[in-house]
Amino acid sequence: MNNERPLILISNDDGYKARGINFVAELLSTFADVVVMAPEGGRSGMGCAITSKEPVYYSLVRECQHLAIYKCSGTPVDCIKMALHELFPDRQPDLIVGGINHGDNSGVNVHYSGTMGIVIEGCMKGIPSVGFSLDNHSPEADFEPCAPYIVKIVEQVLDRGLPTGSCLNVNFPATPLYEGVKVCRMARGEWTQEWEEHPHPRGGNYYWLVGSFCLRDERPYEADRPNLTEGYVAVTPIQIDMTDYSLMQEIQANWDL
Amino acid sequence: MNNERPLILISNDDGYKARGINFVAELLSTFADVVVMAPEGGRSGMGCAITSKEPVYYSLVRECQHLAIYKCSGTPVDCIKMALHELFPDRQPDLIVGGINHGDNSGVNVHYSGTMGIVIEGCMKGIPSVGFSLDNHSPEADFEPCAPYIVKIVEQVLDRGLPTGSCLNVNFPATPLYEGVKVCRMARGEWTQEWEEHPHPRGGNYYWLVGSFCLRDERPYEADRPNLTEGYVAVTPIQIDMTDYSLMQEIQANWDL
């Protein structure tokens, strides 16, 4: 790295007022120039969704020496697209950060995660990108123990870069006193019992999406979700190329299409 | 396959009234029992988004001997979760189909695609899942030439199954007289010039998400988007495990975390 402060773009899916994103923005602005472009409200579970049917707005909320905060009416991915289009005429960000999210994004939850939507979008734009999530939904969740890990991971990514088409998904355990860091793969499993049914006062039923995650993983010691549960900070490298190359060869060789 | 008709669940992101989904539902109901659970309106670009902040509703639109159509207030992924929770007490579907979508979902667009959100969700639930998309947004787009390919691919998937954690993304060229079928990988590239800016009559600007896709692929002959452009039906196997295993090894060996 040169002597210039790194330029970091941050977004989230909990909205620009969330404690998590403000914690990370303050933390990183001690050594970087930080721009936040985050949704104006909560956008949990938006994955890589984009806004195609409505116009999108953004505006500056506040700025000081090394930190500027913008809000955007769109999805988490819209925020990244908008920031890259509007805010960096001379210099692309050196790093894109998603989070830190209130709630974990380990395992297959990457597919539903707005935090990881941000990171996948940054990665598709060729910018090193990292998502941070804390496995704790409590309004009083303590982000402080994450700080040294976030700084160290950000420094390593700024220093080493990431391969084109790959990004990082970092999840922190629910309670402090972490056991250490484990570099993991995405845990396998599925959500079950996903809907909670209630009778509507004017007839019929309505349904809330709930559910519990069932780990179905034959080698849990390699996987992020179980390591997270055991108190490790889980670092999972994610690639945007989802091709199943072995199935590609199998179909080419044996299917009749 | 036994003599029982296969049971196929279909959803889309264009809504239950769209021509595409009704075309596929009619086509497949000639040999299968078909259940449609699709959004009540358009949900393009929703990716794997789920609805976390609002209740979700569904209702039966109509049913006849081998086809039942339900509409749902949620996202494409919500539709699959709801259908699997509510409609199949005795027997899971043998196949989940997304589409046929009005517009292509090749290359990195898988990440934004509600059609592929359906397919990824089905795959996460352990059910063989296939997405179909036509590279033509015209209201008069002709789905008829897709029919024999859809039937053949559906038959092969019902017959052979798909590996756990993998699904198919099938894209049809914009114009008929296809050159044949190519089994491909996800094309690499990125969207550029993504926002169209307009002055708002009451001050400020609003932005429409637009953009053009720039192919950045060193081996285009292997990739879905270029083959689609050249008139081939592109079949791309997709896996839900997004782990970058080589980066995982690299970080374990060389990073200081």
Q: Is residue B20 part of a domain?
A: yes
List pLDDT tens digits, range A19-67.
999 999 999 999 999 999 999 999 999 999 999 999 999 999 999 999 9
Q: What pLDDT sits at residue A1?
A: 43
Q: In this model, does residue A164 exceed pLDDT 50?
A: yes
> Does A161 contact chain B (CB < 8 Å)?
no
State mean pLDDT over A175-181.
Answer: 93
List pLDDT tens digits, range B69-128.
999 999 999 999 999 999 998 899 999 999 999 999 999 999 999 999 999 999 999 999
List pLDDT tens digits, range A186-240.
999 999 999 999 999 999 999 999 999 999 999 999 999 999 999 999 999 999 9
CB pairs under 8 A between A and B: 214
| Reduced 3-state DSSP string for chain A | CCCCCCEEEEECCCCCCCHHHHHHHHHHCCCCEEEEEEECCCCCCCCCCCCCCCCECEEEEEEECCEEEEEECCCHHHHHHHHHHHCCCCCCCCEEEEEEEECCCCHHHHHCCHHHHHHHHHHHCCCCEEEEEECCCCCCCCCHHHHHHHHHHHHHHHHHCCCCCEEEEEEECCCCCCCEEEECECCCEEEECCEEEEECCCCCEEEEECCEEEECCCCHHHEHHHHHHCCEEEEEEEECCCECHHHHHHHHHHCCC
ipTM attached to this prediction? 0.95
Query: How long, in residues, is chain A?
Result: 257
Q: B14, B43, B44, B50: which to substitute to probe chain A, counting the most A Cβ within 10 Å? A: B50
Would you place residue A139 in the very low, low, confident or very high pLDDT band (cuts 50, 70, 90)? confident
pTM of the predicted structure, to 2 decimals: 0.96
Q: Is residue B122 part of a domain?
A: yes
Structure tokens belonging to residue A58: 């953004």
> Does A45 contact chain B (CB < 8 Å)?
yes
Bridging pattern class, strands A7-11 and B7-11: unpaired
Q: What pLDDT sits at residue B124?
A: 96
Q: Is residue B211 part of a domain?
A: no
Task: Provide the CATH number for the domain around residue B162.
Answer: 3.40.1210.10
State mean pLDDT over B124-151.
Answer: 96
CB–CB contact B183 A257 (8 Å): yes
CB–CB contact A256 B156 (8 Å): yes
For all residues of chain B together, what is the average pLDDT? 96
> Does A62 contact chain B (CB < 8 Å)?
no
Q: Is residue A198 part of a domain?
A: no
CB–CB contact B185 A44 (8 Å): no
Q: Is residue B127 part of a domain?
A: yes
Q: Is residue A241 part of a domain?
A: yes
Of A183, A255, A257, the CB nearest to B252: A183
Q: What pLDDT sits at residue B171?
A: 98
Of B152, B209, B255, the CB nearest to A56: B209
Closest B-chain CA to A150 = B257
Closest to A119 measured CA to CA, from A146, A173, A157? A157
Q: In this model, does residue A86 exceed pLDDT 90?
A: yes
Tally of structural domains, chain B: 1
Q: In this model, does residue B130 exceed pLDDT 60?
A: yes
Q: What pLDDT sits at residue B1?
A: 43
Q: What pLDDT sits at residue A91?
A: 92
Q: What pLDDT sits at residue A17?
A: 97
- Find out whether A86 and B83 touch, Cβ atoms under 8 Å: no
The boundaries of the domain holding residue A176 are: 7-186+219-254
List pLDDT tens digits, range B152-187.
999 999 999 999 999 999 999 998 899 999 999 999
CB–CB contact B85 A195 (8 Å): yes
Closest to A16 measured CA to CA, from A39, A45, A49? A39
For all residues of chain A together, what is the average pLDDT? 96
Q: What pLDDT sits at residue A2?
A: 47
Would you place residue A3 in the very low, low, confident or very high pLDDT band (cuts 50, 70, 90)? low
Would you place residue B3 in the very low, low, confident or very high pLDDT band (cuts 50, 70, 90)? low
CB–CB contact A112 B190 (8 Å): no
Q: What pLDDT sits at residue A157?
A: 98
Q: What pLDDT sits at residue B21?
A: 98
State mean pLDDT over B46-69.
Answer: 96
CB < 8 Å to B184, chain A: 248
Q: Is residue A31 part of a domain?
A: yes
CB–CB contact A248 B184 (8 Å): yes
Q: A247, A249, A252, A254: which to substitute to probe chain B, counting the most B Cβ within 10 Å? A: A247
State mean pLDDT over A98-109.
Answer: 96
List pLDDT tens digits, range B111-122.
999 999 999 999
Q: Is residue A205 part of a domain?
A: no
CB < 8 Å to A183, chain B: 248, 251-252, 255, 257
